[in-house]
Amino acid sequence: MAKKFRGIYAALLTPFVGEEISTEKFQDNIRKYNETGLAGYVVLGSTGECVSISDDESERLVKAARETAAKGKKVIAGTARESTKLTIEFTNRMADLGIDAALVRPPSYFKSKMTKDALKRHFLTVADKSDVPVIVYNIPQNTGIALEAKLIVELSDHPHIVGLKESSGTIAFLGEIIRQLPPDFSYLLGHGSAFLPALLMGASGAILSVANAAPRICAKIFRLFTEGKIKEATELQLDLIPLNKAAMETYGISGLKYTLDVQGLYGGPVRAPLSPLEDKGKAELGELLKRLGLIG
C-alpha cells in the first residue's frame, strides 16, 4: 500500500507584522513554495511558534494554508494540547478546515507521570475521536518526553495513526522500528541534518524547518535519493548541514526567518519570549546562503 506522506514537507514559519500574525505574508510564502517540489506543508509546528499563538490565530493560519496550497500539496496541522480532551477538541476544529492530518506531540507538563501507558492511552483516545489521521510527533528536545520505540510500534496498529514525525534525529531509533511498522505507515524525519540517512534506512520523507529557507535543495535531495543517486544526494545533504545547524540550532527561529527575508520571502520578527536575531547571526547566515547559491 502506498504511504500517505512521502517526500519533503516544510514546517512553515508563522509570519508576524508587528505584534500580529499576517495571513497575507503567509500565503505569499506558500505561493512561492508551491513551485518548489515540496510535497506539502505543516502549519502550527514548533517552527511555526505554535505554542506562542492563540487558537484563533491558529485557525486563521490553517485556513490560509489550505486555501493557498497548490493542488496535491498536503496540509498537516500541529494540534496538540496538554490534555486529551483539549487535544481532541482542537484537532477536530482544525479537521473542519480540511487538513490532511494532525501532528500530535505528547503532553509534557506532568513529565513524571507520562508513563508509556499514560501516553498510549492519550494517543489512542485522540486517534479514536479525531476526524483526521494522526501523525505522532517525537520531539524530546522540546517536550522532555522521549517516546519509546515500542510505543510507536504499538500505536502504529491503530488505523487512524498513520505516521511519525521523529525530530530527535536518532537513526538507530528508526532502524529499531522501521521493519515493525505497517507498510503504509509514514516515517518522517524532523531533522534537516540527517534526513538523507533516514531515507536510506527506510523513512518515507521528512518534515523540515530548513525547507523554509532551502525548499528546492531539500526537494532535490529527496529526488536524487529516489533516483538512486546516493552519492550526489549525500554531497547535497552535507552541503545543507551548516545552514540547518546555524538557522535552527545556533540562531533558532529568528535566524531562520532572517534567511527568508534576504531571499524575497517574508520572515519578519519572532514573537517573544524568543529573541530577535543579532547582527553576528545575520552575517553568518548570509554567508551560508551565499555558499549554497541561495542569494547572490
Q: Does 17 bind a copy of itself (CB under 8 A)?
A: no
Site string for a copy of itself, 239-268 (x = CB under 8 A): --xx--x---x--xx---------------
Torsion, CA 208, CA 214, CA 215, CA 216, rounded to 10: -140
165 catalytic residue (yes or no): yes
Q: Does 94 bind a copy of itself (CB under 8 A)?
A: no
Site string for a copy of itself, 169-198 (x = CB under 8 A): xxxx--xx-xx-----------x-xx-xx-
Pick the catalytic residue: 165, 231, 245, 282?
Answer: 165
DSSP state of 247: I
Please tell me the distance from the alpha carbon of residue 236 to that of residue 241, in angstroms, as a whole number: 9
Q: Does 201 bind a copy of itself (CB under 8 A)?
A: yes
The CB-of-253 to a copy of itself minimum distance in angstroms stands at 8
Judged by CB under 8 A, the chain residues 101 through 120 that form the site for a copy of itself are 106-107, 109-115, 117-119
First to last CA, the chain: 44
Beta bridge partners of 186: 163
The CB-of-245 to a copy of itself minimum distance in angstroms stands at 6
All three cell numbers of 156 = 502504529
Are 137 and 101 in contact by the 8 Å Cβ rule? The answer is no
Could you tell me how many residues make up the chain?
296
The CB-of-118 to a copy of itself minimum distance in angstroms stands at 5
Closer by beta carbon to a copy of itself, 51 or else 70: 51
Looking at 141, 157, 278, 287, which residue binds a copy of itself (CB under 8 A)?
A: 141
Q: Does 280 bind a copy of itself (CB under 8 A)?
A: no
- Torsional class of 293: left (φ above 0), alpha (ψ -120 to 50), beta (otherwise): left
Neighbours of 160 (CB within 10 A): 18
Site string for a copy of itself, 34-73 (x = CB under 8 A): ------------x--x-xxxx-------------------
Burial per residue of 247-282, b for 16 or more beta-carbon CB atoms within 10 angstroms, e otherwise? bbeebbbbbbbbbbebbebbbbbbbeeeeebeeebb
Are 281 and 251 in contact by the 8 Å Cβ rule? The answer is yes
Active site residues: 165
Q: Return residues touching a copy of itself (CB under 8 A).
A: 19, 46, 49, 51-54, 82-86, 106-107, 109-115, 117-119, 121-122, 125, 141-144, 169-172, 175-176, 178-179, 191, 193-194, 196-197, 200-202, 230, 234, 237-238, 241-242, 245, 249, 252-253, 271-275
